[in-house]
Structure 1
Amino acid sequence: MSLFSKLFGGVEKSKPDPVTYKGFEIFPDLMAEGSKFRLMARIEKTIDGDRKTHTVIRADVFDTRDQAESFSIAKAKQVIDEQGDSIFS
């Protein structure tokens, strides 16, 4: 088990179908913390044939998986709107 997992609990990978937004794919990979879920999303995009990935992790925790997924997607969209492709730099 990695140090990251020991400190923060396990990351729950999202279902296989990502949310597509402005050419990016958003995966709400949530981080379980006891009975709560921390906001976490993986943003991916293929640029010039190369698959790029950026992970967004916030301090926000939610009581339900649905709440955490919804807010993770919203936060990822905000990051995309603010930074665009530069998130991969």
Structure 2
Amino acid sequence: MSFLKSLFGFGGSRAADEAPTAQASIEHKGFTVTAAPFRNEGQFQTAGTVAKEIDGETKEHRFIRADRHASMEDAVQFSLMKGRQIVDEQGERVFR
């Protein structure tokens, strides 16, 4: 039924539902981890970036995870934790 609602314009604006809503950054082992969760289907989706300057060039890896949260604060904290985990597990290999 939701497909039909969106097809005929009764489902609201999906673009507004998925727009970024907040950001927070931390430094972790020389990387900058930025949380960028966004609203998706009434909850907040885990997302962010891991960045580092290498040889004068800023490299960036974007991530989105399936985890969703009821509050923006929870989503930001979880996104930062996921970014730290990516750095700990992959380090600079994440940019390859």
- TM tier relative to shorter chain: 0.7 to 0.9
User: Among the aligned pairs, what percent are the same residue?
Assistant: 29
Q: How does 1:57-72 map to 2 (within 5 A)?
A: 57-72=64-79
Q: CA deviation at 1:34?
A: 3.8
The one-letter code matched in structure 2 to 1:26 is: V
Q: CA deviation at 1:42?
A: 0.8
* Residue among 52, 61, 78 paired with 2:85: 78
Does the C-alpha gap of structure 1 residues 40 and 22 become closer, same or farther in structure 2, counting only changes over 3 Å? same
2 CA distance for matches of 1:40 and 1:12?
11
* Residue among 19, 28, 39 paired with 2:26: 19
Q: CA deviation at 1:21?
A: 0.2
Aligned residues: 82
**Corresponding residue of 2:49:** 42
Stretches of structure 1 that go unaligned for 5 or more consecutive residues are: none
Greater than 6 Å deviation, 4+ residue runs: none
**Corresponding residue of 1:10:** 19
The one-letter code matched in structure 2 to 1:12 is: T
Q: CA deviation at 1:35?
A: 3.0
Who wins on radius of gyration, i.e. which is larger? 2
Q: CA RMSD in A?
A: 1.6
